[in-house]
C-alpha cells in the first residue's frame, strides 16, 4: 500500500523577490561608494617611498592637496592657484575648527617650495593636522 505524503505549503509560498531586491541594493551601494574612494587618487603622481614610517591613518574630515612635478596644486581633481588653495583651506578650517586634517600628496620630482607653501598655508589658517603623504613600501 502506497503512503501519500502531504507537501508543505510553506515551501511553495516562499518568495525570494525581496531577497533579490536587497542584493541589488547592496551591489549598487558598494559600486557607488568605491567610486568616491578613488576620486582623490586620479592624478598620477610618483610619490617618494619610505620604509620606517607607520602607515597614516586617514580621518574622515581630511582634505587632499595634490602637487604635481611642475608645482601646480590640485584639489578635488581640478587645478587651483595658490590663492584659491588658501581660500579653500580657510573655509575648511572654519567648517571643522578642531578636526580638519590636510594630506599633501606631492610628486617626488616636485620642488620643495610648493610643498612648503602648502604646509605654510595650513599653519597660517590654523590647521595643525597637516601630513605629507608618501608611498609606503
> How many residues in total does the chain contain?
137
Q: What is the DSSP string of 90-137?
A: HHHHHHSTTT-EEEEEE-TTS-HHHHHHHHHHHHHHT--EEEEE-EE-
Mean pLDDT across the chain = 81
Per DSSP, 7 falls in state: P
Predicted TM-score (pTM) of the model is 0.58
Kindly state the DSSP code that residue 11 receives in the 8-state scheme.
H
Res 26: pLDDT:
92
How much is the average pLDDT of 63-92? 92
pLDDT of residue 121: 93
Residue owning grid cell 592637496: 65
Higher pLDDT, 75 or 40: 75
Mean pLDDT check: name the lowest of 9-13, 18-22, 83-87, 114-118: 9-13
Mean pLDDT along residues 98-127: 91
Domains of the chain and any CATH numbers: 59-136 (3.30.420.270)
Give the model confidence (pLDDT) of 10-55 as tens digits: 556 677 888 889 999 999 888 777 666 555 666 777 777 777 665 5
Amino acid at each position: 500500500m502506497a503512503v501519500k505524503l502531504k507537501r508543505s505549503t510553506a515551501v511553495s509560498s516562499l518568495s525570494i523577490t525581496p531577497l533579490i531586491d536587497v542584493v541589488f541594493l547592496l551591489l549598487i551601494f558598494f559600486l557607488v561608494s568605491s567610486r568616491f574612494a578613488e576620486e582623490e587618487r586620479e592624478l598620477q603622481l610618483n610619490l617618494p617611498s619610505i620604509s620606517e614610517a607607520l602607515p597614516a591613518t586617514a580621518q574622515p574630515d581630511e582634505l587632499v592637496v595634490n602637487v604635481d612635478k611642475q608645482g601646480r596644486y590640485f584639489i578635488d581633481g581640478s587645478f587651483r592657484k595658490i590663492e584659491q588653495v588658501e581660500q579653500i583651506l580657510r573655509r575648511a578650517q572654519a567648517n571643522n575648527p578642531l578636526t580638519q586634517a590636510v594630506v599633501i600628496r606631492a610628486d617626488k620630482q616636485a620642488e620643495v617650495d610648493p610643498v612648503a607653501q602648502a604646509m605654510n598655508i595650513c599653519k597660517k589658517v590654523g590647521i595643525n593636522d597637516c601630513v605629507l603623504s608618501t608611498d609606503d613600501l
